[in-house]
Amino acid sequence: MVWAILSIKVENKPGILFKVTHLFRSRNFNIDSISVGVTEDKKFSRMTITTIGDEKQITQIVKQLDKMIDTIEVRRLDVNNSVYRELVMFKIKVSKPEDSMEINKLASAYSAKTHDAKKESIMVEMTATPHQISAFEELAKKFGIKEMARTGITALEREEHEH
Amino acid sequence: MSDNNKMNETMIGATALMKALEKEGVKEVFGLPGGANLPMYDELGKSNIRHILVRHEQSAAHMADGFGRVSRKPGVCFATSGPGATNLLTGIATAQADSAPMVAVTGQVPVAMIGKDAFQESDIIGMANPALKYSYQPRTPEEIPTMVKQGFYIAETGRPGPVLLDIPKDVQQNEANIPFPDEVRVPGYHPWTDPDMQNTGRAVELLLSAQKPIILAGGGVIISSAFAELQSIAELLMIPVVTTFKGKGAFPEDHPLSLGPIGMHGHAEANKLMTEADCVLAIGTRFSDRSVGTFEEFEKNLKIIHMDVDPAEIGKNQTTSVAVVGDVRTSLRIFGKLLMDKAVRPSDDNPWLKHVKETKQYWRENLKLHPGEMGAAKILRKLRELLPKESIVTTEVGQHQMWASLFFDAIHPGTFFSSTGLGTMGWGFPAAIGAKTARPDVPVVDIAGDGSFNMTEHSLATAVLEDLPVIVFLINNYSLGMVAQWQRTFYDRRMVGVDLKKCPDYVKLAESYGAQGIRAQSMDELEKAIKDGLNSDVATVIDIPIDPEEDVLPFVAPGTGLKDMILPS
C-alpha cells in the first residue's frame, strides 16, 4: 500500500466537489484527506486529495479522475519532490499552572503559534507535515487534547530544474 | 465555454430547447408530460419533432437507448420532475453500463423552489450522477442551446453515454435574447487520443509471434463500426474470433472463423478455445466478470493486447501485455496497415487452425439440446431461418437472453442489442420500439422472456398507437427462469418467488392493446406466427410456451473460470 497525493485542477463551478467525492465512493476508493481552494486563475479550483491504495488502485483513481469532464488536469505528485503541509488546530487542556509554560515550549519547538490562552486551555495552531502533526499530537496527549481540527493536506511540486 | 455565438434571438427557454434539438437533427423524442415540463411540451407541439408517448418514463429511456444504439446518435427522452425523473434512472443507468448515447431532458421545479422540498421535486442530478456521462442544469434560458450542443457532443463522442439536462420550469418559461452557438468547446473533455504507434507496433509483433492467437471482439467494435477492419484482420491472419456478449454482432456468426460469444453462457467451443489460446487481441471490451469468469484464471498463460477508446479501462479489470488507447476503428486500421507488410497467412495444416476447426465442429454437432419440439435452440433457429438477415434483434434479460446468445446467430453487423452490463429486465421491448423508430425499414424483434416482458409490457400501447410494429418473440416458461435455474443448481431446488402461475394470458393481453397476439405450441404454428408477425401492420406478441425446467447450458458458475464450464449431461 502506498500513500499518494493527487492534485486536481477543476472548473470553479458548484457541484464539482460532489462529483469528485462521489467518484471515490462509487469506485470504492479511499479519501485520506481533501482540501479545496481557488487557484491563481479564479476560473479554476485545485483539490488536493491524499489517498491510500496499491499502485494499481492509484493508477485507476488517476484515470477515472482524468476521465471526468470537469477535471482540467489530474496529477499524482511525487511525494519526495513536493512540499506538502497541513494546518491543524488543537485545544489543549491546562490542568496546573506549569502546563501553560510547557505547552508554549512544545509549541515553539514545532514552530506553532498559540492563541486564546485561558486558565483551562490553550489553542495551538501549526502548519506541518502529517508526520510532524502526529508527533506533536502524541506529546500533547499528556496534557489532554480537548478538540482538534485539521484541514487536510495541500501541496505543490518543486520545480524540475534549478537555473 | 461557448464560442462563435453567431445569432441571437428573443424567445422563451422551451422554444430555445426545441430549436437546439432540431439543430442537432432530432426528429423524435420519447416521453411523458407532467407539471414541470409543460412549457417544453407546449413548444414540442409546435415543433417538427415527433413525440412518441410512453406509459412509464423507464420505457422512454429504454426507447431512447434502443434508438441511440441502432442509429449511433443520441436518443432523446423527456420526463417531468420528481417521479418522472426518477423513473428514468434505471434507463439512464442501463445506457451508461452499455455505453449508449442518450440525452435525457427533465423538467425541474422553478429555480427559487429548488431545495425547498417542493411538490414533485427531486435532486435528479445528484441521484443520477454516477450513472451519467455528464449533466446540466441551466439557471437562465440563455444557457440552454450551448448545453444542448455540448450535451449531444459529449453523449455521442468517445465512449458514448447518457447526458442529463434538468431544466427548471421558470427557465423554460422565461424569455431572453438567446445565443445559438455553431461550435462548442468542452475544456476538460478529450474523447479520443491517437493510438500510440510504438505500442501498436509492439501489438503487431506480439500477435504475429503467437502460436495460438484469438481475437476477442467487444461492444466497442459495434460502437465504432469497425466491422470491416476487424474482419479483414481476422481473414488476413486466419485468426478465430470470439466475442463478448455485448460484442455479439461485431463479427458475422456464420463466418467460418466465428466461434460466438464467450462467458458465463458462452458457446462451449468459444470458452474452450479462449482458455487454450496463447495471445488474445481484445478490442473494445472491459473484460467484465460475465465474460471472463475469474480474472486470475483468465490471464494464465495468455498475452493480452487491449485496444480501447477509454484509457481508464486499461488495467481496470485485467492486466495487459500491450495497450493501444484510441478509437478502435482507427487503431484497427493502423494495425491492419502495419500487418500488411509482415503478415504471412497460415497454411491450412496449421495445427491451431485445425484444432479450432475440429473443436468448433465437435461442439456444434455434440452439444446436447433439449429434446422437446419447442426447445429453446429449435425455436430460436427457426426464428433465424425466417427472419431477414438485416433485421434488428433486441432481448430482454434472463434465460431467453442467453439462449439467444447461444442459438440465434447475429449475421449482419450491429443487428443484435441487449442490456448486457446492467442486465435490466424490461429493456428489450421498449428498446425494440426505439430501434424501429430509427430503422422503420427493417423488421425488429424483441426476443423476450415472460418475467422480463411483464416489466414494460405497457409499451404495447406505444407500439400500437405510434404505428411501430415490432415483434415480441416471447419464450414463455411462466417463471423467472434464470433465477429458477440458479435455485435448481445452487439451492437444491428450493424454489422461492419464481413461479408466475400462468398469469397473464399474453394473447389476450396483446389483443387488449390492439396488437396481434398469437400462441405457438408447435413448430408449424411457430413458423406461421413468425410469418404473420413479419407481415403484420401492428405489433405482434408470439407467445411460445416452453418447458419451465429447461436450463441454459453451458454455464460458467460465478466465481469460477471459463474452463470450469458446466455442460449439459
Q: Give the contacts of A28 (CB within 8 A, at least 6 positions apart).
A: none
Written as one string, the DSSP assignment of A61-97 is HHHHHHHSTTEEEEEEE-GGGEEEEEEEEEEEE--SH
Which CATH number does the domain housing residue B393 bear? 3.40.50.970
Is the Cβ pair B312, A64 closer than 8 Å? yes
Q: Is B178 helix (H, G, I), strand (E, B) or coil?
A: strand
Looking at chain B, which residue has its C-alpha nearest residue A72?
A: B188
In chain A, where the domains are located: 2-77, 83-156
Please answer whether residues B12 and B18 qualify as being in contact, where contact means their C-beta atoms are separated by less than 8 angstroms.
no
Cell numbers of B96, please?
A: 451508461
B168 and B119 in a common domain: yes
Assess whether B358 carries a catalytic annotation. no
Backbone φ, ψ for residue B176 (5° rounding):
-160, 170
Q: Tens digit of pLDDT for each residue in B347-358?
A: 878 999 999 999
Q: Would you say the CATH fold of A83-156 matches that of A2-77?
A: yes
State residue A163's pLDDT score: 59
Does B356 share its domain with B383?
Answer: no
Domain count, chain B: 3
- Measured CA to CA, the distance from residue B164 to residue B183 in angstroms comes to 20
pLDDT in tens, A149-162: 999 999 999 997 66
Alpha-carbon gap, residue B566 to B549, rounded angstroms: 16
| Angstrom distance (rounded) from CA B221 to CA B414 | 9
Contacts 24+ apart (CB under 8 A), A32-38: A32/A3, A33/A86, A33/A130, A33/A150, A33/A152, A33/A153, A34/A152, A35/A151, A35/A152, A35/A153, A35/A154, A37/A154, A38/A12
> Are the beta carbons of A70 and B188 separated by less than 8 Å?
yes
Say yes or no: A60 contacts chain B, CB-CB below 8 A.
Answer: yes
**Residue B263: inside a domain:** yes
* Block residue for cell numbers 429511456: B61
d(CA B248, CA B241): 11
| Cβ contacts from A onto B, under 8 A | 37
pLDDT of res. B6: 57
Residues 6 or more apart whose CB falls under 8 angstroms from that of A149 comprise A88, A89
Domain end (from B135, B153, B184):
B184
In this structure, are residues B205 and B271 in contact, taking their beta carbons and an 8 Å threshold?
no
DSSP letter string over B260-312?
EE-STT--HHHHHHHHH-SEEEEES----HHHHBSHHHHHTT-EEEEEES-GG
CB contact under 8 A, A19 and B129: yes
For residue B325, the enclosing domain spans 197-366
Q: Residue B105 pairs with which residues in a beta bridge?
A: B78, B165
Cβ A23 vs Cβ A64: under 8 Å: yes
Pick the CATH number of A2-77 from 3.30.70.260, 1.10.3720.10, 3.40.50.920, 3.40.50.300: 3.30.70.260
| CATH architecture of residue range(s) A83-156 | 2-Layer Sandwich (3.30)
Instruction: Kindly state whether A78 is in contact with chain B, defined as any CB-CB distance less than 8 angstroms.
Output: no
pLDDT at B3: 47
Question: Helix, strand, or coil here: A40?
Answer: coil
**0.90 surpassed by pTM:** yes
Domain-located, residue B189: no
Given a cut of 70, the residues of chain B with pLDDT beneath it are 1-7
Residue B197 and residue B515: Cα distance in Å, rounded? 55
Same domain, B142 and B248: no
CATH number of the domain enclosing B234: 3.40.50.1220
Closest CA of chain B from A149, distance in Å = 29
Residues B239, B386, single domain; the answer is: no
- Cis upstream peptide for B504 (omega within 30°): yes
Specify the amino acid at residue B200. Answer: T
pLDDT tens-digit series, residues A83-109: 999 999 999 999 999 999 999 999 999
Q: Do A63 and B130 touch (CB under 8 A)?
A: no
* Contact between chains at B311 and A67 (C-beta distance less than 8 A): yes
Q: Is any Cβ of chain B less than 8 angstroms from the Cβ of A67?
A: yes
Q: What local confidence, expressed as pLDDT, does residue B294 receive?
A: 79
The answer to whether the bond into B554 is cis (omega within 30° of 0) is: yes
Cell numbers found for residue B475: 419464450
- Which of B322, B340, B366 is at the close of a domain? B366
Angle CA A103–A108–A114, to nearest 5: 60
Residue of A nearest to B151 (CA): A69
**Segment holding B333, helix H or strand E:** helix B328-342
Contacts of A23 in chain B (CB under 8 A): 130
Q: Does A79 touch chain B (CB under 8 A)?
A: no
CA atoms within 13 A on the CB side of B480: 12
In a domain, B191, yes or no: no
Option in A11, A26, A72 nearest B130 (CB): A26
Q: Which of B120, B173, B487, B521 is flagged as catalytic?
A: B120
Residue contact A64–B315, C-beta within 8 A: no
Examine the domain organization and report whether B346 and B391 are in the same domain: no
d(CA B265, CA B423): 14
The answer to whether the beta carbons of residues B133 and B106 sit under 8 Å apart is: no
β-strands B392-395, B416-417: how paired? parallel
Catalytic residue among B24, B57, B156, B550: B57
B420 vs A44, B95, B288, B395, B517, CA distance in Å? 38, 10, 10, 10, 28
Q: Residue A44 is which amino acid?
A: F
The cell for B260 is: 460466438
Identify whether the C-beta of residue B122 lies closer than 8 Å to the C-beta of residue B85: yes
Contact by Cβ (8 Å): A58, A17: no
Return the DSSP state at B54: -
Instruction: Name residues whose C-beta falls within 8 Å of residue A71's C-beta, 6 or more positions apart in sequence.
Output: A8, A9, A10, A20, A65, B188
Burial of residue B528 (number of CB atoms within 10 Å: 0-12, 13-18, 19+): middle
Shared-domain flag, residues B245 and B324: yes
Q: Which chain B residues contact residue A59 at CB under 8 A?
A: 315
Same domain, B324 and B439: no
The x, y and z cell numbers of residue B298, run together, are 483468465
Cβ atoms of residues B439 and B69 within 8 Å = no
> Residues of A with CB below 8 A from B187's CB?
11, 72
Contact check, Cβ <8 Å, A26/B316: no
In a domain, B562, yes or no: no
Query: Among partner residues B134, B188, B314, which is closest to A71 by beta-carbon distance?
Result: B188
Asked if residue B165 and residue B310 are part of one domain, the reply reads no
> Which residues lie below 8 Å from residue A134, measured CB to CB, with a gap of 6+?
none
Count, in order, helices (H) and strands (E) of chain A: 4, 9
Residue with cell 485561558: A118
Whether B269 sits among the annotated catalytic residues: the reply is no
How far is Cα of residue B524 from the mean position of the Cα atoms in its chain? 32
| Residue A115 CB neighbour total at 10 angstroms | 10
At residue B311, what are phi and psi to the nearest 5 degrees? Answer: -60, -30
User: Which residues on A lie below 8 Å from B126 (Cβ)?
Assistant: 18
| B401 and B523 fall within a common domain | yes
Label the pairing between strands B444-449 and B392-395. Answer: parallel
Residue pair B374/B544 in contact (Cβ under 8 Å)? The answer is yes
**Whole-number pLDDT of residue B348:** 79
Residues B325 and B397 in one domain: no
The residue ranges of chain A whose pLDDT is under 70 are 161-163
Tell me, yes or no, whether B31 and B178 share the same domain.
Answer: yes
Strand residue runs (E) in B430-520: 444-449, 471-476, 516-519
Are the C-beta atoms of residues B221 and B283 closer than 8 Å to each other? yes
Query: How far apart (Å, rounded) are the C-alpha atoms in residues A110 and A120?
Result: 22
Question: What angle, rounded to 10 degrees, do the helices at B399-407 and B376-386 form?
Answer: 60
Q: Are residues B390 and B333 in the same domain?
A: no
HSE-CB at B308 with a 13 A cutoff on CA atoms is: 26
**pLDDT for the residue B1:** 43
Of B238, B482, B485, B516, catalytic: B482
- Residue B265 belongs to a domain: yes
So what's the pLDDT on residue B192? 82
Work out the number of other CB atoms within 10 angstroms of the CB of residue B564: 15
Query: Which residues does residue B327 pair with via DSSP β-bridges, in sequence order?
Result: none
